[in-house]
Protein backbone atom coordinates (compact mmCIF):
# COMPACT_ATOMS: atom_id res chain seq x y z
CA UNK A 1 0.00 0.00 0.00
CA UNK A 2 2.88 2.37 0.80
CA UNK A 3 4.23 2.24 -2.76
CA UNK A 4 0.83 2.80 -4.32
CA UNK A 5 1.48 5.21 -7.24
CA UNK A 6 -1.83 7.05 -6.72
CA UNK A 7 -0.93 7.68 -3.10
CA UNK A 8 2.54 8.98 -4.00
CA UNK A 9 1.12 11.22 -6.74
CA UNK A 10 -1.59 12.49 -4.38
CA UNK A 11 0.85 13.25 -1.56
CA UNK A 12 3.16 15.06 -3.99
CA UNK A 13 0.32 17.21 -5.34
CA UNK A 14 -1.13 18.01 -1.91
CA UNK A 15 2.25 18.96 -0.40
CA UNK A 16 3.28 21.01 -3.44
CA UNK A 17 -0.11 22.73 -3.55
CA UNK A 18 -0.16 23.47 0.18
CA UNK A 19 3.37 24.96 0.01
CA UNK A 20 2.67 27.14 -3.00
CA UNK A 21 -0.80 28.47 -2.03
CA UNK A 22 0.58 30.98 0.56
CA UNK A 23 3.50 31.86 -1.74
CA UNK A 24 1.17 32.55 -4.71
CA UNK A 25 -1.44 34.39 -2.61
CA UNK A 26 0.64 36.47 -0.17
CA UNK A 27 4.03 36.90 -1.88
CA UNK A 28 3.33 36.81 -5.63
CA UNK A 29 -0.28 38.07 -5.13
CA UNK A 30 -1.46 36.07 -8.13
CA UNK A 31 -5.01 34.71 -7.91
CA UNK A 32 -4.73 32.42 -11.01
CA UNK A 33 -1.57 30.81 -9.57
CA UNK A 34 -3.32 30.33 -6.22
CA UNK A 35 -6.21 28.70 -8.10
CA UNK A 36 -3.80 26.30 -9.82
CA UNK A 37 -2.39 25.33 -6.41
CA UNK A 38 -5.93 24.83 -5.08
CA UNK A 39 -6.67 22.54 -8.03
CA UNK A 40 -3.46 20.66 -7.28
CA UNK A 41 -4.62 20.07 -3.69
CA UNK A 42 -8.07 18.88 -4.84
CA UNK A 43 -6.59 16.49 -7.45
CA UNK A 44 -4.04 15.31 -4.87
CA UNK A 45 -6.73 14.40 -2.34
CA UNK A 46 -8.73 12.69 -5.10
CA UNK A 47 -5.69 10.64 -6.03
CA UNK A 48 -5.13 9.64 -2.38
CA UNK A 49 -8.81 8.65 -2.17
CA UNK A 50 -8.44 6.51 -5.30
CA UNK A 51 -5.41 4.78 -3.80
CA UNK A 52 -7.47 3.65 -0.81
CA UNK A 53 -10.27 2.40 -3.08
CA UNK A 54 -7.85 0.35 -5.17
CA UNK A 55 -7.65 -3.36 -4.43
CA UNK A 56 -4.85 -4.36 -2.08
CA UNK A 57 -4.11 -7.38 -4.22
CA UNK A 58 -1.80 -6.42 -7.08
CA UNK A 59 -3.00 -6.94 -10.69
CA UNK A 60 -0.13 -9.41 -11.15
CA UNK A 61 -1.31 -11.52 -8.20
CA UNK A 62 -4.92 -11.41 -9.47
CA UNK A 63 -3.80 -12.51 -12.94
CA UNK A 64 -1.74 -15.34 -11.45
CA UNK A 65 -4.74 -16.58 -9.42
CA UNK A 66 -7.03 -16.35 -12.48
CA UNK A 67 -4.53 -18.27 -14.64
CA UNK A 68 -4.11 -20.96 -11.98
CA UNK A 69 -7.88 -21.45 -11.80
CA UNK A 70 -8.13 -21.61 -15.59
CA UNK A 71 -5.27 -24.11 -15.81
CA UNK A 72 -6.98 -26.38 -13.29
CA UNK A 73 -10.24 -26.35 -15.27
CA UNK A 74 -8.30 -26.77 -18.54
CA UNK A 75 -6.49 -29.79 -17.11
CA UNK A 76 -9.81 -31.32 -16.07
CA UNK A 77 -11.38 -30.69 -19.49
CA UNK A 78 -8.36 -32.06 -21.34
CA UNK A 79 -8.21 -35.13 -19.12
CA UNK A 80 -11.89 -35.87 -19.81
CA UNK A 81 -11.48 -35.03 -23.50
CA UNK A 82 -14.35 -32.53 -23.34
CA UNK A 83 -14.19 -29.97 -26.12
CA UNK A 84 -17.84 -28.85 -26.42
CA UNK A 85 -18.78 -25.23 -25.99
CA UNK A 86 -20.06 -24.15 -22.58
CA UNK A 87 -23.58 -22.89 -22.01
CA UNK A 88 -23.95 -20.04 -19.53
CA UNK A 89 -27.02 -20.34 -17.35
CA UNK A 90 -29.24 -17.58 -15.93
CA UNK A 91 -29.92 -17.47 -12.18
CA UNK A 92 -33.36 -19.05 -12.67
CA UNK A 93 -31.70 -22.28 -13.90
CA UNK A 94 -28.88 -22.62 -11.38
CA UNK A 95 -28.03 -22.58 -7.70
CA UNK A 96 -25.55 -20.01 -6.42
CA UNK A 97 -23.13 -17.98 -8.53
CA UNK A 98 -23.00 -17.92 -12.34
CA UNK A 99 -22.45 -21.36 -13.78
CA UNK A 100 -21.36 -22.65 -17.15
CA UNK A 101 -22.37 -26.13 -18.27
CA UNK A 102 -19.95 -28.03 -20.48
CA UNK A 103 -21.68 -31.10 -21.94
CA UNK A 104 -19.74 -34.35 -21.73
CA UNK A 105 -21.05 -35.40 -25.14
CA UNK A 106 -22.71 -33.44 -27.94
CA UNK A 107 -24.52 -30.18 -27.47
CA UNK A 108 -26.87 -29.23 -24.66
CA UNK A 109 -30.54 -29.14 -25.56
CA UNK A 110 -31.66 -26.44 -23.11
CA UNK A 111 -35.32 -27.52 -23.35
CA UNK A 112 -34.30 -30.65 -21.42
CA UNK A 113 -33.23 -28.61 -18.40
CA UNK A 114 -36.27 -28.89 -16.16
CA UNK A 115 -34.93 -28.13 -12.68
CA UNK A 116 -32.24 -25.91 -11.24
CA UNK A 117 -28.72 -27.23 -11.81
CA UNK A 118 -27.22 -28.19 -8.40
CA UNK A 119 -23.85 -26.90 -7.21
CA UNK A 120 -21.85 -29.96 -8.14
CA UNK A 121 -19.00 -30.59 -10.55
CA UNK A 122 -20.64 -33.30 -12.61
CA UNK A 123 -24.36 -32.80 -13.07
CA UNK A 124 -27.25 -34.38 -14.93
CA UNK A 125 -29.36 -31.73 -16.65
CA UNK A 126 -31.95 -33.92 -18.40
CA UNK A 127 -33.76 -37.22 -18.07
CA UNK A 128 -31.56 -39.05 -20.57
CA UNK A 129 -28.53 -40.86 -19.05
CA UNK A 130 -26.36 -39.05 -21.62
CA UNK A 131 -27.48 -35.63 -20.40
CA UNK A 132 -24.40 -35.17 -18.30
CA UNK A 133 -22.27 -32.06 -18.05
CA UNK A 134 -19.53 -30.43 -16.05
CA UNK A 135 -20.75 -27.38 -14.14
CA UNK A 136 -18.08 -24.80 -13.45
CA UNK A 137 -18.30 -21.36 -11.90
CA UNK A 138 -17.84 -18.68 -14.55
CA UNK A 139 -14.66 -16.63 -14.07
CA UNK A 140 -15.22 -13.33 -12.25
CA UNK A 141 -18.82 -14.26 -11.47
CA UNK A 142 -18.56 -13.31 -7.79
CA UNK A 143 -18.02 -9.68 -8.82
CA UNK A 144 -21.47 -9.27 -10.30
CA UNK A 145 -23.54 -11.35 -7.88
CA UNK A 146 -25.21 -8.19 -6.51
CA UNK A 147 -25.86 -6.61 -9.88
CA UNK A 148 -29.44 -5.39 -10.16
CA UNK A 149 -31.14 -5.82 -13.49
CA UNK A 150 -34.67 -5.28 -14.77
CA UNK A 151 -36.62 -8.34 -15.87
CA UNK A 152 -36.57 -7.34 -19.56
CA UNK A 153 -33.49 -5.16 -20.05
CA UNK A 154 -32.70 -3.22 -23.20
CA UNK A 155 -29.29 -3.47 -24.96
CA UNK A 156 -28.14 -0.17 -23.34
CA UNK A 157 -28.95 -1.62 -19.90
CA UNK A 158 -27.03 -4.83 -20.66
CA UNK A 159 -24.20 -2.64 -21.99
CA UNK A 160 -24.24 -0.60 -18.78
CA UNK A 161 -24.14 -3.74 -16.62
CA UNK A 162 -21.26 -5.33 -18.58
CA UNK A 163 -19.45 -1.99 -18.68
CA UNK A 164 -19.89 -1.58 -14.91
CA UNK A 165 -18.29 -4.97 -14.23
CA UNK A 166 -15.57 -5.01 -16.92
CA UNK A 167 -14.57 -1.34 -16.74
CA UNK A 168 -15.48 -0.17 -13.26
CA UNK A 169 -15.10 -3.23 -11.03
CA UNK A 170 -12.48 -5.35 -12.76
CA UNK A 171 -10.75 -2.77 -14.98
CA UNK A 172 -10.45 -5.33 -17.79
CA UNK A 173 -11.56 -3.09 -20.67
CA UNK A 174 -11.89 0.56 -21.69
CA UNK A 175 -15.50 0.47 -22.85
CA UNK A 176 -18.27 -1.87 -24.04
CA UNK A 177 -20.86 -1.72 -26.83
CA UNK A 178 -23.80 -4.14 -27.10
CA UNK A 179 -26.04 -4.78 -30.11
CA UNK A 180 -28.97 -7.14 -30.02
CA UNK A 181 -30.41 -8.94 -33.02
CA UNK A 182 -32.67 -11.96 -33.31
CA UNK A 183 -31.26 -14.72 -31.18
CA UNK A 184 -27.88 -13.07 -30.98
CA UNK A 185 -25.98 -10.53 -28.96
CA UNK A 186 -22.95 -8.82 -30.42
CA UNK A 187 -20.62 -7.34 -27.82
CA UNK A 188 -17.67 -5.14 -28.70
CA UNK A 189 -15.07 -4.76 -26.00
CA UNK A 190 -12.79 -1.80 -26.64
CA UNK A 191 -9.31 -1.99 -25.14
CA UNK A 192 -9.56 -5.46 -23.56
CA UNK A 193 -6.73 -6.33 -21.16
CA UNK A 194 -7.09 -10.10 -21.69
CA UNK A 195 -7.19 -11.56 -25.19
CA UNK A 196 -8.54 -14.71 -26.77
CA UNK A 197 -6.05 -17.53 -27.21
CA UNK A 198 -6.64 -20.67 -29.22
CA UNK A 199 -6.22 -23.04 -26.28
CA UNK A 200 -8.46 -25.84 -25.02
CA UNK A 201 -9.92 -23.86 -22.14
CA UNK A 202 -10.81 -20.83 -24.30
CA UNK A 203 -12.35 -23.06 -27.00
CA UNK A 204 -14.73 -24.51 -24.37
CA UNK A 205 -15.37 -21.60 -22.04
CA UNK A 206 -14.34 -18.59 -24.09
CA UNK A 207 -11.90 -15.94 -22.84
CA UNK A 208 -12.45 -14.68 -19.27
CA UNK A 209 -13.90 -11.40 -20.63
CA UNK A 210 -16.32 -13.29 -22.89
CA UNK A 211 -17.28 -15.54 -19.96
CA UNK A 212 -18.11 -12.54 -17.78
CA UNK A 213 -20.07 -10.88 -20.60
CA UNK A 214 -21.97 -14.12 -21.32
CA UNK A 215 -22.83 -14.65 -17.64
CA UNK A 216 -24.16 -11.11 -17.23
CA UNK A 217 -26.10 -11.23 -20.52
CA UNK A 218 -27.56 -14.62 -19.59
CA UNK A 219 -28.75 -13.29 -16.24
CA UNK A 220 -30.12 -10.17 -17.90
CA UNK A 221 -32.27 -11.86 -20.52
CA UNK A 222 -32.97 -14.89 -18.30
CA UNK A 223 -31.99 -17.35 -21.03
CA UNK A 224 -29.03 -19.68 -21.49
CA UNK A 225 -26.26 -18.30 -23.68
CA UNK A 226 -23.42 -19.84 -25.66
CA UNK A 227 -20.33 -18.00 -26.89
CA UNK A 228 -20.58 -18.49 -30.64
CA UNK A 229 -17.58 -16.56 -31.85
CA UNK A 230 -14.78 -14.46 -30.50
CA UNK A 231 -12.28 -12.36 -32.42
CA UNK A 232 -9.71 -9.70 -31.66
CA UNK A 233 -8.76 -6.94 -34.09
CA UNK A 234 -7.08 -3.55 -33.67
CA UNK A 235 -7.51 -3.22 -29.92
CA UNK A 236 -11.11 -4.39 -30.09
CA UNK A 237 -12.56 -7.72 -29.11
CA UNK A 238 -15.81 -8.83 -30.75
CA UNK A 239 -17.89 -11.47 -28.97
CA UNK A 240 -20.91 -13.04 -30.59
CA UNK A 241 -23.32 -14.65 -28.13
CA UNK A 242 -26.02 -17.07 -29.16
CA UNK A 243 -29.23 -16.94 -27.12
CA UNK A 244 -30.59 -20.46 -26.57
CA UNK A 245 -34.11 -21.53 -25.76
Partner 1 sequence: MRIYNRYLLLMVFTTCLVNVVLAFMGQKDITVYFIANFLITLLLTVLFISFSPRTRRVLSSISFVLFAGFVVVAVLKILEVIKQ
Q: Compute the least distance from the CB of residue 34 to partner 1, in Å.
A: 6
Closest CB to partner 1 among residues 44, 206: 44
Q: Which of residues 5-44 bind partner 1 (CB under 8 A)?
A: 6, 9, 25, 31-32, 34-36, 38-39, 42-43
| Min separation Cβ 57 and partner 1, Å | 14
Helix, strand, coil abundance in the chain, percent, nearest 5: 45, 20, 35
β-partners of residue 232 are 237
Span 68-127, contacts to partner 1 by CB under 8 A: none
Q: Which of 169, 190, 222, 240 binds partner 1 (CB under 8 A)?
A: 169
Which residues, other chains included, contact 139 with Cβ-Cβ below 8 Å and sequence gap of 6+?
66, 69, 70, 205, 208, 211, 212
Q: Per-residue DSSP letters for 161-221?
A: HHHIIIIIIS---SEEEEEEETTEEEEEEES-SS----SHHHHHH--HHHHHHHHHHHHHH
Q: Which 173-202 positions form the footprint of partner 1 (CB under 8 A)?
A: 174, 191
Nearest distance from residue 199's CB to partner 1, in Å?
26
Helical packing angle, 31-53 and 5-22, nearest 10° = 160
φ/ψ region of 171 (left if φ > 0, alpha if ψ in -120 to 50, else beta) reads: left
Among 19, 23, 49, 65, binds partner 1 (CB under 8 A): 49
Binding mask 129-158 for partner 1 (x = CB under 8 A): ------------------------------
Q: Which of 46, 62, 72, 181 binds partner 1 (CB under 8 A)?
A: 46
Bridge pairing between strands 87-88 and 236-243:
unpaired
Q: How far is the CB of 71 from partner 1 (least distance, A)?
A: 26
CB 148 within 8 A of CB 173: no
Q: What is the smallest separation between the CB atom of 40 and partner 1, expressed in angstroms?
A: 9
Considering the complex, what minimum distance in angstroms separates the CB of residue 175 from partner 1?
9
Beta strands in the chain (DSSP E): 87-88, 99-103, 122-124, 132-137, 175-181, 184-190, 225-233, 236-243
**Cα–Cα distance, 135 to 220 (Å, whole number):** 20
| Minimum gap (Å) between residue 177 Cβ and partner 1 | 14
State the number of binding residues for partner 1 (CB under 8 A).
Answer: 29
Q: Which residues bind partner 1 (CB under 8 A)?
A: 6, 9, 25, 31-32, 34-36, 38-39, 42-43, 45-47, 49-50, 52-54, 160, 163-164, 167-169, 171, 174, 191
Amino acid sequence: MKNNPYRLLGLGLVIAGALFVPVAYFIISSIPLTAVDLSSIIIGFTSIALSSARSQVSPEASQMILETGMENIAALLEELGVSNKAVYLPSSMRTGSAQALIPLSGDIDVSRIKAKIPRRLIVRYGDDPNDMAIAVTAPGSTSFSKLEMKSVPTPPEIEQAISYVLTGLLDLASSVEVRMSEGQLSIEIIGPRLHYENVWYYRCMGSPIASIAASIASDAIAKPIRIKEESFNKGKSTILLEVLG
